[in-house]
Structure 1
Amino acid sequence: MAGGRIGEITGLREELILKSCRLAIKAHEKSPGKPYIHDKNRGSTDAFFAFPGSWLVDHWYSRKPFGETKVDLSKFPSLRSLGNDEAALVNEAFSTRFELLLSKSSLAVEVEKAVSDQKQIVFTGHSSGGPVAILAAIWFLEKYVRPNAYQIPPYCVTFGSPLVGNWIFSHAVRRENWMRYFINFVTRHDIVPRIMLAPVSSTEQGLKLMHELTTSKSQYFQHAFITKIDAALAFFLSVMRNASSVASHAACKLMGCTNLLLETVSSFIELSPYRPFGTYIFCSGNGKLLVLDNPDAILQLLFYCLQLSPGEQNSEFLCGIFKEHLIYESELQESLNMQNVVYIENLIDVPLSSDAGTNDAAATVNSALNDFGLSTRARLCVRAAGELEKQKLENQKKFDSNKDTIRDGLRMIQEYQTNCEIRKIGYYDAFKNQRDTNDFNANVKRLELAGIWDEIKEMIKRCELPDGFDVRKEWIELGTMYRRLLEPLDIANYYRHLKNEDTGPYMIKARPSRYRIMQRWREHAERMSVGSSSESTFWAEVEELRTKPYSEVKDKVLGLESRAYAWIQDGILGKDVLVDESTFTKWWRALPVQHKSGSCIANYLGN
């Protein structure tokens, strides 16, 4: 837990944060007819793109109940789970607004110009302009930063922004190490950042009410609000009831609750899929700022720091809550002047008692938590988020300790492969025939290694490892080596026992998910097209093609030969594939003469 200046914590200069806020408010309030504001002062090293919001219901929800859809992976290829092979969910209305902006405005051209001028680009938005800014920033990261086409990453600064994506969205941003580029300011009582935790049926009238209130001149705001007090209270309570359901369900999972009632309730109560991500800076209203970057803890704060006592549910207090959405600029100016900032990094040390404070640091944190009205239960939930993160790191540490065991096992399989080559038989065919003690020993090692990797796979699927585990270079390299050496043996074992006759082709019915995950790791890390790193399934293709008439599979044979040629050239397929007694060599030599004479691999195999 630490204090510090906001600029130091976020990495973005404070004058740029203030300017972001000013432009975001201007885009939202004063330039609603423009698709965005591009601030490009001559001589400046910065370029701002500020996006306006909208209160139209169909600009928030395109379908019931929550308006989510799968993200367009052609534009956002990183927004998916590599472990579960799922695309992230994104709010469809927000996504559509961004896509229209990208295709029908000069945004892409102006961003390209800012890149050529070596600008620090800042995307910003207030209210529902925030999600558009977020999607623009991720688009920029995908297009320019991830392929190393631009060395200056963008910043995205939002103010009172609604949530935009689900847990996979959040996970993917953290996995790519992009979280630090997203800075979200939220005032304690602003209802707007919580709206997406409720379905459209609960918020439709509220969005219309927000439009009426925010378009009223400031001197008439209170009068307009009083006339709508019943609708405002109903809207507030509906959003918070839904927020309570989401936060409670998430908290139970954080704490490892195994109560069957939890799953029963969630099966008939529709819960919002949306989750926070990035760095959240909560503004207390008295100049204090609380900074968090753990998405699970942020979700709990979104609920718990907006709790009203019965005495606060009056027109004056509610009016202040709704007005808070409009005061970000003045609130931010006051907070930056005071620089009373608490950044909670170590969540497991959050004090549970409101009067705890054994040292100055703990007292400072406790004072901040008290300013946000966090109860003991809220603090427990925040701690649980920290404990989960700690456990993920412990799980990763455990598997890191297994790396030498995996490497030793791979060396043993490499030696087996070399010995088979000396005997003039490929290790695929030797393992399939199982005629030697070495073949038996290789099978034992195959099963041992599969056990280790399957344990890793299950933890990945249950999200029990840190978000960045999937992109750690040493594990990608180890997984690729394992996949290339061991998957041929799994395929050999499958066809040795004729399992294809009962179950079907290996690739369709039997390929272990551990190999699929490792393949996705490499393809993602090297920006390869999905499915293109299929070298480890070479033998499965051979086994299926060799049982079919050439006339039926000619195109597939040509495709396999083309890929095999590249893999042989790159040293990915070993020489043992080409020995005379290899299943592949025997099959290829039985192909029609006309085909073989024009084959790209003819020089390797002869006739």
Structure 2
Amino acid sequence: MQIDNSKPLIITGNSLGGSVATLFTISLLEKFNFSNTKRPLCITFGSPLIGDEGLQETISKYAAWNSCFLHVVSDQDPVPKVLINGYKPFGTFLLCSELGCSCLEDPQTILELLMAAYIGSPENQDPHKIFESYGTFVEHLNRKVLCKDTTDHESSIDWTTTPLRAGIITKLAAIGLVRSQPLQNVDINIIIAKTEKGEKKMAILNKQAFDPTRGLNEIKVYMAYLEQYKKLSKDRGIGYYDRYKLENRIGMTTTDMDLLKFKKSLTCYWEEMVDQAEKRPQTVGHSLRTRSLFGGTNYRRMIEPLDIAEYYNKGLKDYINNGRSKQYIQLEQWLKETEKPSSIPNELKKQNVVSSLTEDSCFWAHVEEALISCKLLSSEESSDEEKDSAKKELVEFEKYVFDLMKNYAVSSEIFLPGSSFMKWWGEYREITGASYSSSLTNLLKNDNNYKAYANGSLEFPLNFV
């Protein structure tokens, strides 16, 4: 089954059919990844509650899932109150009466109002008439953007009433709970107080649930340590990727234990950040605030090379398809959705290339795969088919590196003597021979180009040949 992203997917049902629609929508959310496609919208009319507190908490925890459910309930419909004991609501509820409608999200408040709204409703209602009333509600909603408050609840509001309480009273009036004649066994003041308490609790939880900037200053301290590690590695002529790869292979020294601790803390932070951002309903490209996305991009470009080093130290292959963590993939995707690609490097990138991080955080995985291809070409045990494939991959790698260099998108540290990239270049130069010529190899054969690139003054041919 495939989801057509060109049209909105709306699942709907009335009464027990609404329960089926809800369960079907939950199954869709479980089976399909809607991070890059439109999520389904489930609209039910007079549906009974389904699921216990466990299901309600699970779905409410994922705000993106919770936002997929809209339950329309009439004050004359007895079905939604059939399964109230032991069952918990989730999603958004639109409670309707002949006076108007109120929109609610707090589960406990919804339960309280469902009970209160139906205490005074007549029994033995004609189900067909109730079903027709939902059409009337939808018609009214479609016609009216602004609704004049015509309900009789002025006595409940005076100049001392807070805006929150006044709004709650207006909501309750719209579903017939604030009337000149009190409902039997219903204390409206208790209802108002409970609703106000629930609204405040909901606001606090929403505020606390996802704050992308919380902890960002502490994370900056960890990143500063990594920057220092990177600088000291460069002074050794090896680069931080290859230094970490070597130290990881032989076992970290005591002085580098902080590096592992900070690396782990950074990863835990951004794993949680990405997970929380995915749970919230967001427009494409706005899953993280700009400040957080900038921090996430720096984290990805600094830390992912270290994960790549660990991966290839284990003798594994094809990191990009088999070893890449979810947070790196998602952070890169969000950056692509917000960043406008440019084929021409700006002057600032040229000036900062000596200290900048490589834009493609998988660069070193490409280098490792290129080294593997060189081994295949050099090995007498490789078949002709394997050698042909390796040649094609190496030409693609050449073009990939040339495009990065042309856009000043790769750090000048790749030209350090102890770099894995320079190791690849030495092996590749020996394999291809002095007569081989291409845009990249012609640049790499001249050592002066390394300094020119670091200074931002290297001139590139227009196209790769």
TM over 0.5: yes
Mapped partners of 2:114, 2:202: distance in 1: 19
Mapped partners of 1:516, 1:569: distance in 2: 24
Mapped partners of 2:157, 2:223: distance in 1: 53
User: Contact (CA 8 Å) 1:297, 1:382: kept in 2 or not?
Assistant: no
What is residue 397 of structure 2 aligned with on the other side?
560
Q: Deviations over 1:341-390 (max 9, x none)?
A: 9xxxxxxxxxxxxx999936425523532653789999979976874663
Aligned pair in 2 of structure 1 residues 577, 254: CA closer, same or farther (>3 Å)? same
Q: Which amino acid aligns with 1:564?
A: V
> Where do residues 2-401 of structure 1 align in structure 2 (5 Å cutoff)?
71-72=3-4, 75=6, 90-91=9-10, 193-194=43-44, 240-241=47-48, 244-245=49-50, 251-253=56-58, 274-276=68-70, 282=94, 284-291=96-103, 304=114, 312-316=122-126, 318-326=128-136, 328-329=138-139, 336=146, 338-339=148-149, 359=161, 361=163, 362=165, 365-366=168-169, 368-369=171-172, 371-372=174-175, 387=201, 390-397=204-211, 400-401=213-214
Match of 1:425 among 213, 238, 260: 238
Runs of at least 5 residues in structure 1 that lack an aligned partner in the other structure: 1-68, 77-88, 95-126, 129-161, 185-191, 196-238, 257-270, 342-354
Mapped partners of 1:335, 1:606: distance in 2: 70
What is residue 537 of structure 1 aligned with on the other side?
362
What is residue 423 of structure 2 aligned with on the other side?
586
Secondary structure of residue in 2 paired with 1:572: coil
Matched, 1:475 2:292: yes
Q: CA deviation at 1:597?
A: 3.1
Bigger Rg, which one = 2
Q: CA deviation at 1:483?
A: 1.2
Mapped partners of 1:598, 1:480: distance in 2: 35
Mapped partners of 2:328, 2:362: distance in 1: 10
Aligned pair in 2 of structure 1 residues 305, 428: CA closer, same or farther (>3 Å)? same
User: Contact (CA 8 Å) 1:281, 1:291: kept in 2 or not?
Assistant: yes
Secondary structure of residue in 1 paired with 2:418: coil
Mapped partners of 2:135, 2:319: distance in 1: 56
Q: Which amino acid aligns with 1:589?
A: G
Aligned pair in 2 of structure 1 residues 173, 417: CA closer, same or farther (>3 Å)? same
What is residue 265 of structure 2 aligned with on the other side?
451
Q: CA deviation at 1:509?
A: 4.2
Q: Deviations over 1:228-266 (max 9, x none)?
A: xxxxxxxxxxx623xx0058665344788xxxxxxxxxx
Q: Which amino acid aligns with 1:581?
A: G
User: Contact (CA 8 Å) 2:274, 2:331: kept in 1 or not?
Assistant: no
Aligned pair in 2 of structure 1 residues 337, 451: CA closer, same or farther (>3 Å)? closer
Aligned pair in 2 of structure 1 residues 510, 291: CA closer, same or farther (>3 Å)? same
Q: CA deviation at 1:325?
A: 0.4
Mapped partners of 2:123, 2:92: distance in 1: 26
Q: CA deviation at 1:545?
A: 3.3
Matched, 1:600 2:439: yes
Mapped partners of 2:273, 2:199: distance in 1: 17
How many residues end up aligned between the 2 structures? Answer: 361
Question: Please, what is the CA RMSD of the aligned residues?
Answer: 5.5
Matched, 1:491 2:308: yes
Match of 2:333 among 520, 542, 546: 520
Taking every aligned residue pair, what percent have the same amino acid on both sides? 17
Runs of at least 5 residues in structure 2 that lack an aligned partner in the other structure: 15-20, 72-90, 178-185, 342-357, 378-386, 447-465
What is residue 225 of structure 2 aligned with on the other side?
412
What is residue 458 of structure 2 aligned with on the other side?
none
